Amino acid sequence: MTTPFQFVYEFNQERVDGNPEMKDLLGGKGAGLAGMCSIGLPVPPGFTVSTRACTLFHQNQQAFRQQVWPEVLEALHRLEQVTGKPFGTTPRPLMLSVRSGARFSMPGMMDTVLNIGLNDRIVDDLLEQNEAADLAYDCYRRLLQMFGDVVLDIPRRAFERILARRRKEKGVRYDIELGGDELGRICEEFKALIRDEGGSFPQDSLEQLRLSVEAVFQSWNTPRAVTYRQLNDISEDLGTAVNVQLMVLGNRGADSASGVGFTRNPSTGAPAMYGEFLPRSQGEEVVAGIRTPLGLEEMKQTFPEAHHKLQEYAATLETTYREMQDFEFTIETGKLYLLQTRDGKRTGVAAVRIARDMHQEGLISREEAVMRVNPDQLKQLLHPVLQHAGGELLAEGLPASPGASVGQIVFSADEAVSWAQKGKPVILVRSETTPDDIHGMNVAEGILTARGGMTSHAAVVARGMGKCCVVGCESLRIDEKKKEVEAQGRTLREGDYISVDGNSGKVFLGRLQKVESDLKGGLISEYLGLLGEFQTLKVRANADTAQDAQKALEFGAVGIGLCRTEHMFFAEDRLTVMQDMLTASTAYAKDQSLKKLQEFQREDFLSILEIMDGLPVTVRLLDPPLHEFLPEAAELSSRITELREKGVEETEILRMEKLLKHSAELRESNPMMGHRGCRLGISHPEITRMQSQALFEAACQLKRMGKSPVVEVMIPLVSLVGEFQDQAALIREVAEQVFQDTGIRIPFEIGTMIELPRAALLADQLASHSDFFSFGTNDLTQMTFGFSRDDAGNFIKDYGRKNILPSNPFETLDQDGVGQLMRMAVEKGRSARPHLQIGICGEHGGDPASVRFCHELEMNYVSCSPYRVPLARLAAAQAALGCQPTDTR
């Protein structure tokens, strides 16, 4: 029956049309079902309606019904034969599940309808055949509810309200505790609700099936699905497949259950099956977070045989797929079925551990192990942890996603977004999360829920985002309307601070300290050890202090690519001296301040160069506009008024007035493009002189102590060859003077930042004077787009919404535009100086996609913040291996 126009692919014990590679056509779920069927795992039989059908559906619904529907009917016919169950009639009627399944797993995004095939007459027949009333009605009310929601678009909460009222009347906590009679009445109420809402529930089973399949295809375009694809860079054209499958009933009775599991622990990576199950449950109840599920180890008691088989199946899945699997199962009257398998999403820690372990177990090669971790996942291993000491424990839940977050409580996703836009750190606190909350989760520091397990929506999404998350904190009593949460007898309100520990599941009152991670006992360095010779692009760090330099070394940086000297002047004692220098009214006073600053700088350089002994340290001359060192004029004015009223001594007021005068004079309309960078050093050569002298004195002092300082001086914001020449000549003059004074010489290089379009355009001219290039892609991006990073927030969100800009160019390098300038600069630079050393020191230096691009441009190094060094190293190795890393977030 395989034709060139095949739309439907069957799978059952006798026949499997598809295979695990056909994810494009069958979606992830469909390919997984075909795969499991092929290797003899117990999968309820069924068929997959392909993504090709989805595309046709969206192009032409008429054609869809003419071409696809007949194939569905044929497959349904054979399913009736295979199962021996008739669809739409009794006895033993065929019940079907209809589930979406796209190429890329999109948790909770697409829609599901279970128990299709039931109708009033069949339910009556079942009851007459002594089928348990509570099972029949439970299945039927679920069908009505899901069909109402997915197909008829009646708000889910309308159904929930009816259930809640009934639970309250009966004094029970969960739906499952309602008896058959009660569920029967609920079915009637649901049908009434559907009628009231103008909907119509078809008693014809085939109509139920067709409408459900079409609704799933339709759901590809729901706003929440579109948002998810945008957030995750998934193409709109892919479409989803639909899987139609025999229902196995985890809600059949006490010896039935449903659950989800992982072949290894998705949170820690520990090599043992891990998961959760709920007796007497169906479908997505385990992940919905309404009832808190049981751990898989409890299955040993209640379902010993099924548990044993599950472990066996899990092992088979891992050997087959050579990757950690995330599977769903159902137990119907003691018999175990697998409903789905796919590569499991995991935390960064788990990804690293699993890759390392699988390589050690001989399951995957070293290259594969390197490709199995997305560089961003490393972040979780490097981030600080919460220091509990002295904290007041508020609640304890499940540690769903590791990390530490400290922030202010908000109770809705919209509030989270609005607070975050004001720069506030927020923690999203919800009873449970749904796909409608994704935008809020995305901006939150951390997520806390009262319900749900380790595989609940909140947990899965948070792990994917690498965000700290605690779920199932059942002692919390959350009132989302009143914006209050009660815990330990306290009432917290919106804006109150809490601290959440995603590693332990503990939640504390107020703001606790975060401390450095202990690098997970060497796991990360062991993993990075696998990179070996794969990594050719070097990784340096941006570091302005001895502390940062030390951290950089620990993380494997082979030098400092950017040491920002201005940061050295922002400490309070130094800032005053800097201000004195800037506002000095006599040459003598200016000189005195410069001498003091030189002392500070020399000390800084001494400690940094000493730590980086033998490794290159690139020191950038003063860069920001000078007004950044002075208080704002408005602030000064009010402070002066205040001081006058207090009768403070005149000298202090005079000092303030001087600052005010200079602050006003230095104000610029567009400071980003104003008097900064090398423009400062040219107008104020005394500053360049002071900085160079401090640097060379420090280096010579270390050389005398037997050290090997490697100094690179970097001139910022160059657009003209003459600017470089002016500053380079001054630096050389100072160096020569220091060498003569100390009798010690050190080798050094002078290079330029490439951060203005003109520098890239004239890179050949610059290269004939400059020893090295370092791309400042922050400024280069600003100038190439004409976007001020400080102001672009106003319109970049409109751009995202309208799909004008694929991603924020300040986070991911714009290879088409900015990258074109970089390529030009590399080519022109090397044409003038073949072995020109070229690096990057903008924030893109730690972004994996940008690191890959730098590797392709044959640059020598990237430089990024110390915490990003391991990410950059991994990205560099992966770039050299030439393919994209697996994404298991």
Q: Containing H/E element for 492?
A: strand 490-493
Regarding 791 and contact with its own copies (CB under 8 A), the answer is yes
- Site stretch for its own copies (CB under 8 A), options 8-16, 527-535, 716-724, 868-876: 716-724
Instruction: Indicate the residue among 621 and 756 with the shorter CB distance to its own copies.
Output: 756
558 φ, ψ to 5°?
A: -110, 35
Regarding 234 and contact with its own copies (CB under 8 A), the answer is no
Q: How far is the CB of 584 from its own copies (least distance, A)?
A: 18
Q: In sequence order, which ranges of 584-632 are alpha helices (DSSP H)?
A: 587-611
Instruction: Indicate the residue among 250 and 681 with the shorter CB distance to its own copies.
Output: 681
Regarding 328 and contact with its own copies (CB under 8 A), the answer is no
Per DSSP, the three-state class of 330 is strand
Please state the separation of Cα 858 from the chain's center in Å. 28
Per DSSP, the three-state class of 750 is strand
Regarding 417 and contact with its own copies (CB under 8 A), the answer is no
Q: Tell me how far apart the alpha carbons of residues 790 and 553 are, in angstroms, rounded to a whole number.
A: 32
Q: Tell me how far apart the alpha carbons of residues 164 and 553 are, in angstroms, rounded to a whole number.
A: 58
Instruction: Indicate the residue among 179 and 793 with the shorter CB distance to its own copies.
Output: 793
Regarding 615 and contact with its own copies (CB under 8 A), the answer is no
Q: How far is the CB of 820 from its own copies (least distance, A)?
A: 5
3-class SS letters over 172-241 = CCCHHHCCHHHHHHHHHHHHHHHHHCCCCCCCCHHHHHHHHHHHHHHHCCCHHHHHHHHHCCCCCCCCEE
Regarding 301 and contact with its own copies (CB under 8 A), the answer is no
Q: How far is the CB of 568 from its own copies (least distance, A)?
A: 23
Q: Tell me how far apart the alpha carbons of residues 31 and 37 are, in angstroms, rounded to a whole number.
A: 10
Within 8 A by CB and 6+ apart from 789, the residues are 778, 781, 782, 810
Q: How far is the CB of 821 from its own copies (least distance, A)?
A: 7
Q: Tell me how far apart the alpha carbons of residues 164 and 166 are, in angstroms, rounded to a whole number.
A: 5
Regarding 714 and contact with its own copies (CB under 8 A), the answer is no
Q: Which of 668, 736, 741, 827 is in the footprint of its own copies by CB under 8 A?
A: 668
Partner residues linked to 506 by β-bridges: 396, 501
Q: How far is the CB of 323 from its own copies (least distance, A)?
A: 37
Instruction: Indicate the residue among 86 and 674 with the shorter CB distance to its own copies.
Output: 674
3-class SS letters over 349-418 = HHHHHHHHHHHHCCCCCHHHHHHCCCHHHHHHHHCCEECCCCCCEEEECEEEECCEEEEEEECCHHHHHH
Q: Tell me how far apart the alpha carbons of residues 332 and 98 are, in angstroms, rounded to a whole number.
A: 18
- Site stretch for its own copies (CB under 8 A), options 5-13, 119-127, 248-256, 670-678: 670-678
Report which of 106, 8, 18 is spatially closest to residue 56, judged by C-alpha positions.
8
Question: Taken in order 758, 764, 765, 768, is the CA torsion positive or negative?
Answer: positive
Instruction: Indicate the residue among 448 and 717 with the shorter CB distance to its own copies.
Output: 717
Per DSSP, the three-state class of 275 is strand
Instruction: Indicate the residue among 570 and 795 with the shorter CB distance to its own copies.
Output: 795
Report which of 514, 520, 519 is spatially closest to residue 551, judged by C-alpha positions.
519
Report which of 175, 170, 178, 91 is spatially closest to residue 127, judged by C-alpha positions.
91
Regarding 334 and contact with its own copies (CB under 8 A), the answer is no
Catalytic residue chosen out of the listed positions 678, 841, 854, 864: 841
Q: Tell me how far apart the alpha carbons of residues 26 and 10 are, in angstroms, rounded to a whole number.
A: 11
Q: Which residues of 105-123 are buried (b: 16+ CB within 10 A; e: fewer)?
A: bbbbbbbbbbbbbbbeebb
Query: Which residues in the 241-270 window bind its own copies by CB under 8 A?
Result: none
Instruction: Indicate the residue among 504 and 637 with the shorter CB distance to its own copies.
Output: 637
Instruction: Indicate the residue among 22 and 763 with the shorter CB distance to its own copies.
Output: 763
Q: Which of 779, 826, 874, 888 is in the footprint of its own copies by CB under 8 A?
A: 779
Query: Which residues in the 753-772 window bind its own copies by CB under 8 A?
Result: 755-758, 761-762
- Site stretch for its own copies (CB under 8 A), options 215-223, 338-346, 548-556, 785-793: 785-793
Catalytic residue chosen out of the listed positions 359, 457, 627, 662: 457
Mutual angle of helices 133-150 and 205-219, in 10-degree steps = 40
Q: Which of 3, 130, 651, 669 is in the footprint of its own copies by CB under 8 A?
A: 669
- Site stretch for its own copies (CB under 8 A), options 112-120, 356-364, 398-406, 717-725: 717-725
CB of 328 closer than 8 Å to CB of 337: no
Regarding 401 and contact with its own copies (CB under 8 A), the answer is no
Whether the upstream peptide bond of residue 91 has omega within 30° of 0, thus cis, is yes
Question: Taken in order 105, 108, 114, 116, is the CA torsion positive or negative?
Answer: negative
Per-residue x/- track, 34-73, its own copies (CB under 8 A): ----------------------------------------
Per-residue x/- track, 530-569, its own copies (CB under 8 A): ----------------------------------------
Query: Which residues in the 335-364 window bind its own copies by CB under 8 A?
Result: none
617: which 2 tokens? Answer: 């340290």
Quick check: is 58 catalytic?
Answer: no
Q: Tell me how far apart the alpha carbons of residues 135 and 194 are, in angstroms, rounded to a whole number.
A: 22
Query: Which residues in the 794-823 window bind its own copies by CB under 8 A?
Result: 794-795, 798-799, 802-805, 814, 816-818, 820-821
Q: How far is the CB of 808 from its own copies (least distance, A)?
A: 13
Per-residue x/- track, 572-591, its own copies (CB under 8 A): --------------------
Q: Tell me how far apart the alpha carbons of residues 819 and 797 are, in angstroms, rounded to a whole number.
A: 23
Q: How far is the CB of 792 from its own copies (least distance, A)?
A: 8
Q: Which of 522, 532, 722, 882 is in the footprint of its own copies by CB under 8 A?
A: 722
Regarding 631 and contact with its own copies (CB under 8 A), the answer is no
Report which of 205, 204, 172 is spatially closest to residue 186, judged by C-alpha positions.
172
- Site stretch for its own copies (CB under 8 A), options 77-85, 365-373, 693-701, 722-730: 722-730
CB of 771 closer than 8 Å to CB of 752: no
Regarding 774 and contact with its own copies (CB under 8 A), the answer is no
Instruction: Indicate the residue among 154 and 621 with the shorter CB distance to its own copies.
Output: 621
Q: Which of 235, 301, 651, 670 is in the footprint of its own copies by CB under 8 A?
A: 670
Per-residue x/- track, 673-702, its own copies (CB under 8 A): xxx-x-x--xx-------------------
The type of residue at 235 is S
Quick check: is 359 catalytic?
Answer: no
Q: Which of 7, 337, 748, 787 is in the footprint of its own copies by CB under 8 A?
A: 787
Q: Which of 37, 373, 381, 783 is in the footprint of its own copies by CB under 8 A?
A: 783
Judged by CB under 8 A, how many residues of this single chain contact its own copies? 49
- Which residues are designated catalytic? 457, 841
Q: What residues line the site for its own copies (CB under 8 A)?
A: 668-675, 677, 679, 682-683, 717, 719-720, 722-723, 726, 755-758, 761-762, 779, 782-788, 790-792, 794-795, 798-799, 802-805, 814, 816-818, 820-821
